[in-house]
Amino acid sequence: MASPTIKLNSGHNMPLVGFGLWKVNNDTCADQVYEAIKAGYRLFDGACDYGNEVECGQGVKRALEEGLVKREELFIVSKLWNSFHEGDRVEPICRKQLSDWGVDYFDLYIVHFPIALKYVDPAVRYPPGWMSESDKLEFSSATIQETWAAMESLVDKNLTRSIGVSNFSSQLLMDLLRYARVRPATLQIEHHPYLTQPRLVEYAQKEGIAVTAYSSFGPLSFLELEAKRAQTTPPLFEHTTVRSIAERYGKTPAQVLLRWATQRNIAVIPKCNNPARLAQNLAVTGWDLDQSELEAIGSLDIGLRFNDPPSYGIYAPIF
């Protein structure tokens, strides 16, 4: 089953449903990417910070060599980490990431956070994480404008077809759009019924910027990180509103949560290593919730953000 696509402002088509690579273990990553391609996934959402891009590339290579898919049928996403925001650091790290994936271009390359940190040489530590080579949280003086100009040059050099941002507020988007020669094609944000961010979503979409939701299942995505907020928040899969809608349609709670997003033209990137759930997560576009159900799920919003750096001891209060 193929996912429907969103037409980006760059002219390229992005699948509405993809496979997220955050927290995919290195020892299983290649197989998971390969199996996801077999199951019909075409968008793969990776990042420098995930530390598994070499293994992702191995999975892609195997699928390409076996003729399961052609490179032009895949939509490969990666992200610029905070330590490489200076203008002269962007292209070299992008080229390293392309080499790790074993591909000539990314379909989408995203500024991961609106935070510029002091450069960490990949030969010293890779991925660099949040700390400098002195093991401190040290900020760089690189502006978003400087970083974005370097991102635009990646498009000029055909190293990526589209560029985007992640974890940006509407205010930062407004500023970026004032000087962007190449407009951001996508905005990736934490988005689930406990954190709906309706004004940000509306603004981005009105500006022709496609929105991608990460952590669509809310607290479930953060249990492995032992985040206190995630451990004490009722799971969305067990919420009576979500469960009752799922039962009504004969779907899983996960499918309902994903359809709640995709029906509003928000792309999703769930991850899963269970073959049955892989197929279920992809089958979230051929049926509709009614308006009252969309609103009922949206009404669960309590402004609860899980991916917040200070929550993990990182004093970068961007939200």
Q: What CATH number did the domain enclosing 251 receive?
A: 3.20.20.100
Give the pLDDT band (50/70/90) at residue 71: very high
pTM of the model: 0.97
Has residue 4 been placed in a domain? Answer: no
Has residue 77 been placed in a domain? Answer: yes
Is the confidence at residue 157, as pLDDT, over 80? Answer: yes
Count of structural domains within the chain:
1
Out of 50, 109, 194, 214, the active site residue is 50
pLDDT at position 231: 79
pLDDT at position 226: 60
Give the CA angle between residues 319, 268, 233 to the nearest 5°. 55
Has residue 63 been placed in a domain? Answer: yes
- Rounded to an integer, the average pLDDT of 163-189 is 98
Has residue 234 been placed in a domain? Answer: yes
Has residue 152 been placed in a domain? Answer: yes
Is the confidence at residue 246, as pLDDT, over 80? Answer: yes
Q: Which two tokens stand for residue 282?
A: 């992809």
- Rounded to an integer, the average pLDDT of 74-99 is 98
Handedness of CA 204, 48, 25, 107 (dihedral sign): positive
Instruction: Domain of residue 35: give its range.
Output: 11-302
pLDDT at position 243: 98
Is the confidence at residue 312, as pLDDT, over 90? Answer: no
What's the CA gap between 107 and 254, in Å, rounded?
27
Is the confidence at residue 276, as pLDDT, over 90? Answer: no
Is the confidence at residue 304, as pLDDT, over 80? Answer: yes
- Rounded to an integer, the average pLDDT of 93-109 is 98
Is the confidence at residue 225, as pLDDT, over 70? Answer: no
Has residue 309 been placed in a domain? Answer: no
pLDDT at position 233: 87
Has residue 102 been placed in a domain? Answer: yes
Is the confidence at residue 227, as pLDDT, over 70? Answer: no
Query: Known catalytic residue: 34?
Result: no
Has residue 182 been placed in a domain? Answer: yes
Give the pLDDT band (50/70/90) at residue 178: very high
Question: What percent of the chain is modeled with pLDDT above 70?
Answer: 98
Measure the N-to-C terminal CA separation of the chain; round to a whole number of Å: 37
Q: Poorest-confidence range of 45-49, 252-256, 269-273?
A: 269-273
Give the pLDDT band (50/70/90) at residue 1: low
What's the CA gap between 96 and 147, in Å, rounded?
17
Q: Are 17 and 268 in contact (CB under 8 A)?
A: yes
- Rounded to an integer, the average pLDDT of 46-50 is 98
Average pLDDT score over the chain:
96
192 is in an annotated binding site: no
What's the CA gap between 134 and 124, in Å, rounded?
11
Is the confidence at residue 107, as pLDDT, over 80? Answer: yes
